[in-house]
Amino acid sequence: MAKPIRNITIVGGGTTGWLAAAVLNHRLQWGFAHPEGVSITLIESPEVPIIGVGEATLPGLLTTLQSLEISEAEFVTRTNATFKLGVKFDDWHSPKGGKPSSYFHPFTGGVQVAGRNPALSLLRYGLPEDLDIDPQLGNIIGHGVAAASSFKSPKRPTDAPYQGPLGYAYHVDATLFAAFLQEIAVARGVSHVTDTVRSVERNERGHIAALQLAEGGRHEVELVIDCSGFRGLLINQALEEPFISFSDYLLNDRAVVVQVKHGEGERLAPVTNSTALGSGWRFRIPLQSRYGTGYIHSSAFIDRAAATDELMASLGDAEKMVEPREIRMRVGRTRRSWVGNCVALGLASGFVEPLESTAIQFVDHACRRLLQCLPSSDFEPAPIEKFNTQMADLYDDVRDFLGLHFTLGDRDDTPYWRAMRNEVKRSDKLEECLALWKDALPDSYDPRRSDIFTFWSVACVLFGKNYYDTPPLSGSDLLPQSVWENYLRNFVNMRKGLLGLLAGHEEMLRLMGEQAVIGESAARRPSHNAVPVRGVALGPPVPVMMPGPISLAS
């Protein structure tokens, strides 16, 4: 007879392993659904280091941290975090009028004007001549772009934890984040084993029956979670589940990464910078004490030495803190992330390159879905299939979203960018959507999933890419010109008020540092009383843009 699962074994102690441990433990050991509790063991090899990158996050993380009853001030302080209001894309187009063009994908946006999407009016009328504001869509539908360029945090000094008038995420130190999650998970009952899985024993159903550990011998498993990184130790190696490469769609397969110091007197912008280079793009992620940066590139177009030189040259006189190192990226997804009694999460499950910082968010989504599909000891196939379909769709959808950035540009100055324009594949679904979006602006009825990136995110990228030479004809969202101009003037006035209330970025980080009580989060025993401000605790996934009215109450 089927019995509830009582033991979960996680293999891997990177961000994925510890995030999964903390989330599953919180719900299964301390929640009400499983009164007898589920015991969770995490096995981490002392021989295999964690990847040590993955420092930009998405807003869904706030919900997760809050539902884990983690103190925001402690989290920000312990992980060396800064705020992130979105991603700024530089040099992804040919320079216009001598100036390189940029666009922003913000986390705040989605206003309706008189019940209509104002994007069509922006295309039709543009901005009134006397209004001197950045004309990109992200700046017209929310205040995140303006706050970022004014070096503001998304919060007022008195805002409660995880609250603020703007949508936001964080930049975190990857190693400190994994260690912080570990401290919390272990304090709340997760068993931590430092040992290396050497081999895997399978039973007559083909499921994983036990792991053979280098020191600890045989470790029996019931439900096992593969968080072993790009190697896919259990899912790909032991269970031989195929990996589907995205190399026809996403060319980049290497990164050269380095940490550099802040410049003298430099202010910290609350944004991830993505700057296109000759054979890929460079990320620059601000942390409180340094930048994390790296060149994501394609080894078919540039070798390691040249990529390192180009990266360092692009950083000017920034002082490096460590030697640059190369990371090989496995871009694509495992065909089925869940096979038998093994669920792969994180890099073991898939990776769509870091352009929109989605990897940690995928883990978060997968944990929510796993909790909804939690199997009994029989491992019934229907929930497993549901999980696999959802995860596959999620990876494919984000791959297609990244395709907008890569394939819609007009750069043709290097073989890499020419290949992006002429050779890179787009999925049939993306082609269908692009044809549709030429005639009608993106909306929530588009034939794509929008769990992470809603139609507003798509619109910001399409506008940033100058996809519209002429406004689409269909749709009835056009505002009368006077209403449009009134809206803009009110919006800009409202913005002035809001920017005056927001704490400066560094000021807010300092305040949170003063408020942080070190060890407070690990000491908390989950009460399940936390009500996340942006979404339901471990319910449906939280999309990237926070819409809605902006309260100006101080």
Q: Of the two residues 106 and 354, which places its CB atom closer to ligand FAD in the complex? A: 354
Q: How many residues belong to the chain? A: 554
SS3 content of the chain, % helix, strand, coil (to 5): 35, 20, 45
268 token code pair: 């910290």
- Is residue 99 annotated as a catalytic residue, yes or no? no
Q: Total number of residues binding ligand FAD (CB under 6 A)? A: 37
Q: Per-residue x/- mask for ligand FAD, residues 186 to 225, rule CB under 6 A? A: ----------xx----------------------------
The residue type found at 430 is: L
394 binds ligand FAD (CB under 6 A): no
Give, for 548, the enclosing helix (H) or strand (E).
none
The residue annotated as part of the active site, out of 3, 84, 96, 496, is 84
Q: Of the two residues 133 and 186, which places its CB atom closer to ligand FAD in the complex? A: 186
82 binds ligand FAD (CB under 6 A): no
Of positions 109, 232, 332, 346, contacts ligand FAD by CB under 6 A: 346
Residue whose structure tokens are 């819609």:
408
Query: Of 130, 65, 103, 32, nearest to 538 (Cα)?
Result: 65
Which of these segments, 7-15, 436-444, 477-485, 511-519, binds ligand FAD (CB under 6 A)? 7-15
Q: Per-residue x/- mask for ligand FAD, residues 23 to 62, rule CB under 6 A? A: --------------------xxx--x-xx-xxxxx-----
Strands 272-277 and 86-90: parallel
For 163-217, give the DSSP string: --SS--EEE--HHHHHHHHHHHHHHTT-EEEE--EEEEEE-TTS-EEEEEETTTE
Minimum Å distance from CB 383 to ligand FAD?
Answer: 23
Distance CA 290, CA 293 (A): 10
Of positions 63, 71, 357, 521, contacts ligand FAD by CB under 6 A: 357
Q: Per-residue x/- mask for ligand FAD, residues 441 to 480, rule CB under 6 A? A: ----------------------------------------
Q: 124: exposed, middle or buried (C-beta count within 10 Å: 0-12, 13-18, 19+)?
A: middle
Minimum Å distance from CB 423 to ligand FAD?
Answer: 23
> Both ends of the chain: CA-CA distance in Å?
58
Which of these segments, 11-19, 93-101, 124-132, 306-314, binds ligand FAD (CB under 6 A)? 11-19
User: How far are the Cα atoms of 94, 110, 315, 431 from residue 310, in angstroms, in the given order?
Assistant: 19, 37, 9, 33
Binding site for ligand FAD (CB under 6 A): 11-17, 43-45, 48, 50-51, 53-57, 174, 196-197, 227-229, 231, 233, 255, 257, 294, 327, 329, 346-347, 354, 357, 359-360
Query: Which sequence positions are flagged as catalytic?
Result: 84
